[in-house]
Amino acid sequence: MHERVESIITKAVTDIIRKEFEEEARPGSVVLQKTREEFEGDFTLVVFPFVKLSKKSPEQTAEIIGKKLLENIEVVKSYNVIKGFLNISLYTQYWLDFLSAAISDDGYGFSEECEAKPVVVEFSSPNTNKPLHLGHIRNNLLGYSIAKILEASGKKVYKVNLVNDRGIHICKSMVAWKLFGNGITPEKSGKKGDKLVGDYYVKFENELKEQANKLMIEKFMSEEDARKVSPLMQQAQTMLVKWENKDADTLAIWSLMNGWVYEGFDETYKRLGVSFDKIYKESETYLHGKSIVEEGVEKGVFYKKDDGSIWVDLQDEGLDEKLLLRADGTSVYITQDIGTADIRYKEAQPAEMIYVVGNEQNYHFNVLKKVLKKLNKPYADNIFHLSYGMVELPQGKMKSREGTVVDADDLMDEMHKTAKEITEILGKTSDFSDDEKEKLYETIGLGALKYFILKVDPKKNMMFNPVESIDFNGNTGPFIQYTHARICSILRKAGENRLRSIFLRIAPDKANEKEIKLLKLIYSFPAVLKEAAEEYSPALIANYVYELCKDFNQFYHDYSVLNETDIAISDFRLLLSKLTAQTVKNSMSLLGIEVPERM
């Protein structure tokens, strides 16, 4: 692919300023933007930043730069100046050449892998005591999409999952299952493993509440104290110590129950369409974390309190003192994160370690980075917390106590069902086989869900209203999928033979405005991808592909591809449609969304 015209123009402008005004433009001050619809032109240069250098009026400055660009750059056809804005037009042939070049490239917009050092993207990170819910869905979709985006922009990416498979919360469901489960299993109960274990976690919390209430009334204790001394909590704590001491019975129950959960998770992940290159388990990394913490004590960067607990003092960094290891020697959350980071770095020597974790843990990652820095770890600065916003429901945050948690599996079922209903009403799939229908409903339902979540800026909290949030019209996944299916329909009707033998021979003045607009938008895809990778934002891709589809649908409405009698124009439109479909498909693949060929 030839050099992007924007960078050619940008460089030329810098040269012109140097030659004509004998001044150096500040780096980054020469910025080309798309010309707004209302004006004539392809790119616009804002010249206000250069009037101090030129010592001329904005109009004169723009004139001088425009004139020189026209003289020096072959593909520049004309320019016009409005106030301080220099609008530059290229020859239509430039866009047609671009179409010829891009059409043969199935992976249009994607870069070849070119960077030596990999990037590790951690996402999902579930606990093995509860099933996945809507919050995890946002996490998984973001993580997977960002991995795809980074890959498409030339990075080697390792997708990793860190499963939180140990700790007091895990012991809670184990205790409850042992006490109240009567040896029930997923097979016997007919439940998914993660759901079954989740039930016993809830059971524990309910029973604990009852015990605590009783203690509060009988012994006038505070709720906090009552929970702490209740028999159930004591059992959970004992179990944790046993677990860390590798008690055989405890480990047996633990691996049994975790095994059930993994089976359940695998099902959910598979359906969501996410996957990992490696799964880390906290149970396998926390010991390494412990040893690093002890190493820190020896080095004198951490300190031991009288009770034996280990702390780090981050007060000089504007933070607090932070516990790293409990007095009984058991580890806390951050202990394993220290270990995991170290293991990960040693294994892959990554240039960057990205953690896709909710913004509720901003403080935690701040601490983690500072702790690693105190330890002089080389990767302390390579850690990037991709902090995303919470998913809120109309009634506020999801709360398991109030039963407002939106279960991931249930939600996907719901989406499938809605897709089915709408598709049946529209009645375009009568000749589909049952398998094809089911596949289609799943594609559309999940497409709607994924797009809905990914189109929002990751950093922002988002609202999810289960009854009305997911639409199938307008700025939605199905709209984009539909556009793709529409194009495929044209390509099918054109036929393999014609598509194979086609070539671009349209005269530049025969291409209309909508077509060129579409072509320009497709041209900007690589730039959008680059920005999405830099910003870690699938939302940019989502908004881009929506705009692309909207423009295509306008074109589709106004002009006919196959009924056009001028064969050169028809061929051009066919190629344009094909490239649009390719770009839509590629964009959607970055979001982990499939696009059907018929719907």
105-144: contacts with RNA (CB under 7 A):
127
Q: Give which of 473, 432, 425, 431 is closest to 452, Cα–Cα.
A: 473
Three-class SS of 200-241: HHHHHHHHHHHHHHHHHHHHCCCHHHHHHHCHHHHHHHHHHH
| Least gap, CB of 220 to RNA (angstroms) | 22
Under the binding rule (CB under 7 A), the answer on residue 14 touching RNA is: no
Span interacting with RNA, options 259-267, 345-353, 419-427, 518-526, rule CB under 7 A: 419-427
**Residue-wise DSSP of 18-31:** HHHH---PPTT---
Under the binding rule (CB under 7 A), the answer on residue 168 touching RNA is: yes
Span interacting with RNA, options 81-89, 273-281, 293-301, 401-409, rule CB under 7 A: 81-89
Span interacting with RNA, options 148-156, 175-183, 212-220, 354-362, rule CB under 7 A: 354-362
| Least gap, CB of 185 to RNA (angstroms) | 25
Under the binding rule (CB under 7 A), the answer on residue 426 touching RNA is: yes
Span interacting with RNA, options 70-78, 152-160, 185-193, 358-366, rule CB under 7 A: 358-366
| Least gap, CB of 387 to RNA (angstroms) | 8
The whole-angstrom separation of Cα 87 and Cα 218 is 81
Tokens describing residue 29: 């001050």
Residue with Cβ nearer RNA (16 or 30): 30
Task: Using CB atoms within 10 Å of the CB of residue 279, give its burial: 0 to 12 exposed, 13 to 18 middle, 19+ buried.
Answer: middle
| Least gap, CB of 460 to RNA (angstroms) | 5
Under the binding rule (CB under 7 A), the answer on residue 238 touching RNA is: no
Spell out where 123-264 has E strands. Answer: 157-163
Under the binding rule (CB under 7 A), the answer on residue 229 touching RNA is: no
The 10 Å CB-count burial string (b at 16+, else e) for 544-569 is: bbbebbbbbeebbeeeebeeeeeeeb
Of 271, 364, 373, 517, the one binding RNA (CB under 7 A) is 364
Of 91, 303, 333, 384, the one binding RNA (CB under 7 A) is 333
Of 7, 206, 222, 362, the one binding RNA (CB under 7 A) is 362
Q: According to CB under 7 A, which residues from 298 to 327 bind RNA?
A: 305, 307, 309, 320, 323, 326-327
The whole-angstrom separation of Cα 386 and Cα 149 is 14
Q: According to CB under 7 A, which residues from 53 to 72 bind RNA?
A: none
In the sheet with 321-325, reading across from the earlier edge strand, the strands are: 303-304, 310-313, 321-325
Q: Evaluate whether 398 touches 404 at the Cβ level (below 8 Å).
A: yes
Span interacting with RNA, options 11-19, 95-103, 195-203, 482-490, rule CB under 7 A: 482-490
Tokens describing residue 573: 């439109």
| Contacts of the segment 184-189: beta carbons below 8 A, 24+ positions apart | 185/260, 186/260, 186/263, 186/264
| Least gap, CB of 22 to RNA (angstroms) | 20
| Least gap, CB of 35 to RNA (angstroms) | 5
| Least gap, CB of 118 to RNA (angstroms) | 26
Longest CA–CA span in the chain (Å) reads 92
The alpha carbon torsion through 218, 219, 220, 222 (nearest 10 deg) reads -110
Span interacting with RNA, options 41-49, 196-204, 254-262, 579-587, rule CB under 7 A: 41-49
Site string for RNA, 511-550 (x = CB under 7 A): ----------------------------xx--x--x---x
Residue with Cβ nearer RNA (180 or 363): 363
Under the binding rule (CB under 7 A), the answer on residue 159 touching RNA is: no
The whole-angstrom separation of Cα 198 and Cα 132 is 10
CA distances from 466 to 69, 96, 119, 259, 470 (A): 54, 45, 35, 31, 7
Residue type for position 195: K
| Least gap, CB of 397 to RNA (angstroms) | 5
Q: Give 214's contacts (C-beta < 8 A, 6+ positions apart).
A: none
Tokens describing residue 156: 């080697």
CA 213 to mean position of chain CA atoms: 43
Span interacting with RNA, options 2-10, 136-144, 194-202, 489-497, rule CB under 7 A: 489-497
Under the binding rule (CB under 7 A), the answer on residue 404 touching RNA is: no
Q: Which residue reads 């220290």 in tokens? A: 338
Q: According to CB under 7 A, which residues from 435 to 454 bind RNA?
A: 440, 444
Of 122, 199, 207, 282, the one binding RNA (CB under 7 A) is 282
Of 82, 297, 504, 568, the one binding RNA (CB under 7 A) is 82
| Least gap, CB of 423 to RNA (angstroms) | 4
Site string for RNA, 569-598 (x = CB under 7 A): ----------------------------xx
Tokens describing residue 530: 């680059």
| Least gap, CB of 562 to RNA (angstroms) | 4
Q: Where are the alpha helices (DSSP H) in 273-407?
A: 282-299, 333-348, 362-374
Task: Using CB atoms within 10 Å of the CB of residue 143, give its burial: 0 to 12 exposed, 13 to 18 middle, 19+ buried.
Answer: buried
| Least gap, CB of 187 to RNA (angstroms) | 28
Under the binding rule (CB under 7 A), the answer on residue 221 touching RNA is: no
Span interacting with RNA, options 10-18, 98-106, 292-300, 558-566, rule CB under 7 A: 558-566
Spell out where 308-449 has E strands. Answer: 310-313, 321-325, 352-358, 383-388, 391-392
